[in-house]
Amino acid sequence: MDGSERWIQTLRDITGGSAMISVLAVLFALVVGAILIAFTNERVQETAGYFFSRPTDLLRAVWDAVAGAYSALFQGSIYNFRATNFLTAIRPLTETLTFATPLIAAGLGVGLAFRVGMFNIGGRGQMLIAAGAAGWVAFAVELPAGIHLIVAILAGLLGGAIWGGIVGLLKARTGAHEVIVTIMLNFVALYLIQFLLRTPGALQAPGSNNPKTPAMAATAVFPDLFGPRYNLHAGFLTVVAATIFVWWLLSRSNLGFQFRAVGQNPSAARVAGINVKNVYLYAMAISGALVGLAGINQVLGTVTTGFGSGIDAGIGFDAITVALLGRSKPWGIFAAGILFGAFKAGGFAMQAAEGVPIDIVVVVQALIVLFIAAPPLVRAMFHLPTPGTSRKPKIRAVKTRQTNEVVAK
């Protein structure tokens, strides 16, 4: 293979690779979202009634609706170019990072389980247990500043690791399917936390009948990164550290090699001398701790005035989407979490400024998952090559057949 053929093959691998599939899935989902925005816009519906007499009115209305909606999405999530000063203009980006923080943490946990061949859909339960453990330490234990925050984080990580480790232990020792176990443990965690929130002396605030905890102590709260005018807190730094840790674990450590080997082929890994049962236990424990980090960020950074049983906010399930979009790779998950954080931050601005239903953002997210889960569909729509394939063998086959026909004549 000469130099030009190598470049052609490399280009084919890039255009047909998973990264390109993810980018095209997002772009195509945004196109479908634009169509939905146009169809639900009242001005577009009005101008469609006299389209044949004045078609330009409809086209202008469609453009105004779509451009206005996506402009509001950008201003609400990245940069508000209508703001009077830079500090105000950059605030939407900090909101995006705030929303992205728990999504990245939980996505890393789900993605790690994916790499081991396990489907962790117990994010809600793991988040709730971690939030309960970290929150109790934060409001019920008196410790010096600095130490208090660290102990609260460790308590939350331990809670998430135990709740995830139960799944790994049951799969390793009894062969129980992790999907069933995680679904059941979600309900167990939910009702356990609800019980503790209604029990005086447990998680319920003293002197209150509401199922809510007291406010977190100031010594156990993540500090603001850029001051009180922004919601972004130091919990974002913990997910950056978690991303680096997962990258190192999967790419540079012996345990990570075992994770990837078991994920590729458990039988072959067992023959190679890897203790597959222990791998399942370790993987789910670490996965639970990472998902638990999302709950920790919620109670120690985002909602510090006390929390209820809805503190997970659906993040445990959104993390599955983030992990799929990020292809279960640490930095891919990091980028996907920021993207979905932008959808969350910008979706509210789009609804407030342009009257676009927030459900359209949810539809766009669902379409991204659909296309990510079906790479052949995206390749067929955009005529992308399959990575690792080459057209050269086909050309040679055609030439060989033509030569054989000439010889036969």
Average pLDDT of span 27-34: 86
Query: What confidence score (pLDDT) does residue 32 get?
Result: 87
pLDDT digits (tens, 9 = 90+) for 255-312: 999 999 999 999 999 999 999 999 999 999 999 999 999 999 999 999 999 999 899 8
pLDDT digits (tens, 9 = 90+) for 79-101: 988 888 888 899 999 999 999 99
Average pLDDT of span 25-53: 87
The three-state (H, E, C) secondary structure of the chain, written as one string: CCHHHHHHHHHHHHHCCHHHHHHHHHHHHHHHHHHHHHHHCHHHHHHHCCCCCCHHHHHHHHHHHHHHHHHHHHHHHCCCCCCCCHHHHCHHHHHHHHHHHHHHHHHHHHHHHHHCCCCCCCHHHHHHHHHHHHHHHHHHCCCCCCHHHHHHHHHHHHHHHHHHHHHHHHHHHHCCCHHHHHHHHHHHHHHHHHHHHCCECCCECCCCCCCCCCCCCHHHCCCECCCCCCCCECHHHHHHHHHHHHHHHHHHCHHHHHHHHHHHCHHHHHHCCCCHHHHHHHHHHHHHHHHHHHHHHHHHHHCCCCCCCCCCCCHHHHHHHHHHHCCCCHHHHHHHHHHHHHHHHHHHHHHHHHCCCCHHHHHHHHHHHHHHCCHHHHHHHHCCCCCCCCCHHHHHHHHHHHHHHHHHC
Query: What confidence score (pLDDT) does residue 16 get?
Result: 47
Is the confidence at residue 398, as pLDDT, over 70? no
Lowest mean pLDDT among 3-7, 46-50, 138-142: 3-7
Query: What confidence score (pLDDT) does residue 405 get?
Result: 55
Is the confidence at residue 15, as pLDDT, over 90? no
pLDDT above 90 covers a percentage of the chain that reads 53
Query: What confidence score (pLDDT) does residue 14 get?
Result: 47
Query: What confidence score (pLDDT) does residue 241 get?
Result: 96
Is the confidence at residue 3, as pLDDT, over 60? no
Residue of 357, 353, 403 whose CA lies nearest to 77: 353
pLDDT digits (tens, 9 = 90+) for 330-360: 999 999 999 999 988 888 888 887 788 878 8
Considering only residues 224 and 408, tell me which one the structure prediction assigns the higher pLDDT. Answer: 224
Contact of 300 with 181, CB cutoff 8 Å: no
State the CB neighbour count (10 A cutoff) for residue 168.
28
Average pLDDT of span 33-61: 88
Average pLDDT of span 142-150: 92
Query: What confidence score (pLDDT) does residue 408 get?
Result: 52
Considering only residues 384 and 277, tell me which one the structure prediction assigns the higher pLDDT. Answer: 277
Mean pLDDT computed over every residue of the chain: 86
pLDDT above 70 covers a percentage of the chain that reads 89
Strand partners, 233: 224
Query: What confidence score (pLDDT) does residue 365 get?
Result: 77
CA distance 283 to 285: 5
Considering only residues 134 and 83, tell me which one the structure prediction assigns the higher pLDDT. Answer: 134
Is the confidence at residue 39, as pLDDT, over 90? no
CA distance 113 to 101: 19
Is the confidence at residue 367, as pLDDT, over 70? yes
Name every residue whose Cβ is closer than 8 Å to that of residue 235 and which is 6 or more positions away in sequence. Answer: 101, 222, 296, 297, 300, 301, 302
Q: Tokens 């201003």 — which residue? A: 75
